[in-house]
Amino acid sequence: MTAAVRCQGIVQIYKARELEVVALRDVDLVVEEGETVALLGPSGAGKSTLLWLMAGLLRPSAGRLWLHGTEVSRLPQATLDRLRAAEIGVVLQNPARNLIPYATPAQNLAFAQRRPDRRRIGELLERVGLAGVRRPAGGLSGGEQQRLAVAVALANRPRLLLADEPTSQLDLASGRAVIELIRQTAAEYGTTVVAVTHDEAVSRALGRTVTIRDGRVGAEGRRGEDLVVVGREGALQLPPEYHHLLPPGSRVRVEAIEDGVALRRVEP
Ligand SMILES: Nc1ncnc2c1ncn2[C@@H]1O[C@H](COP(=O)(O)OP(=O)(O)OP(=O)(O)O)[C@@H](O)[C@H]1O
């Protein structure tokens, strides 16, 4: 089966004046079609950058990226834009950026659809609690805009949904409704979901977690068990709960044991 997303050695460097910021270094990641994945990690780790790359809104500085078997890191921009419109739903971090401010919620959904489907529009507005709301999107609260942005991203039943903190501005009840909508869409249409989140309810609902630390895939979890991922050339990132045992600069002796290695601190 072709993976929905395949990242191979992705590097992303931002150039800000004379400074270069390495946001991602050697990210290898495969998301199978129909999988639902939460991207976790501390602030500044590179999660949003990875999502922007998957959405084709950024080009990687190095490495290769495939979406549904097409190498997007090499596609001309117009082809990439067409592919995004046809197959990908994107929810950016600032919800207003996903919306047309002078259009009503229903109009926003209609603009997003490639084929008009009034039933789907009604159903989505109902699901995000905006049925009957006729104010322009620009006049909605942050939470309402966020719920509408998720609905807009799902208006075309995308093959791939990419969402950056889709519940960050929502209270518990609306957050649940949005999570349920995403989960149900994934189950019903086989939509692949990758969502950056700090919300535990979202990562629980999505099932697979990928933790980005310092621009790399540091850990992966399924069904609650978090496993450290061995990167290129054997690189490992210790989870924060072990930092006090092996603080930065520690010298460790690596000892082979039956099913792996043990790391033992050696006092200088
Ligand atoms: N446009 C940009 N220009 C320069 N540096 C940037 C730009 N966007 C992000 N960065 C830097 O790249 C690194 C990764 O940023 P990114 O937003 O991807 O992290 P994040 O994990 O999504 O963080 P958060 O959880 O705070 O959103 C950070 O050091 C950030 O300051």
Answer whether residue 76 shows pLDDT above 80. Answer: yes
* Residue 196 CA, ligand 1 centroid: distance in Å: 13
Give the C-alpha separation, 56 to 60, whole Å. 9
Instruction: List the residue whose alpha carbon is closest to atom 5 of ligand 1.
Output: 14
**CATH match of 3-237 with 1.10.110.30:** no
* Residue 191 CA, ligand 1 centroid: distance in Å: 27
Express each pLDDT in 229-253 by its tens digit. 988 888 888 888 899 999 988 999 9
Express each pLDDT in 4-51 by its tens digit. 999 999 999 999 888 999 999 999 999 999 999 999 999 999 999 999
The angle at the Cα of 211, spanning 208 to 216, to the nearest 5 degrees, equals 130
pLDDT bucket at 116, cuts 50 / 70 / 90? confident
Express each pLDDT in 81-106 by its tens digit. 888 888 999 999 887 888 999 999 99
Give the chain's end-to-end CA distance (angstroms, integer): 51
Site to substitute for ligand 1 among 40, 49, 91, 197, most atoms within 8 A of C-beta: 49
pLDDT bucket at 266, cuts 50 / 70 / 90? very high
Rounded to an integer, the average pLDDT of 45-62 is 94
pLDDT at 73: 83
Hey, is 138 helix, strand or coil? Answer: helix
Q: Is the pTM of this model over 0.80?
A: yes
Give the C-alpha separation, 185 to 23, whole Å. 31
- Domain residue ranges of the chain, discontinuous segments joined by +: 3-237, 240-268
Express each pLDDT in 120-163 by its tens digit. 999 999 999 999 999 999 999 989 999 999 999 999 999 999 99
Answer whether residue 191 shows pLDDT above 80. Answer: yes
pLDDT at 209: 95
Answer whether residue 114 shows pLDDT above 90. Answer: no
- Stated as kind and residue range, the H or E segment containing 7 is strand 3-16
Q: What is the mean pLDDT of the chain?
A: 92
- The residue with tokens 């270069």 is 20
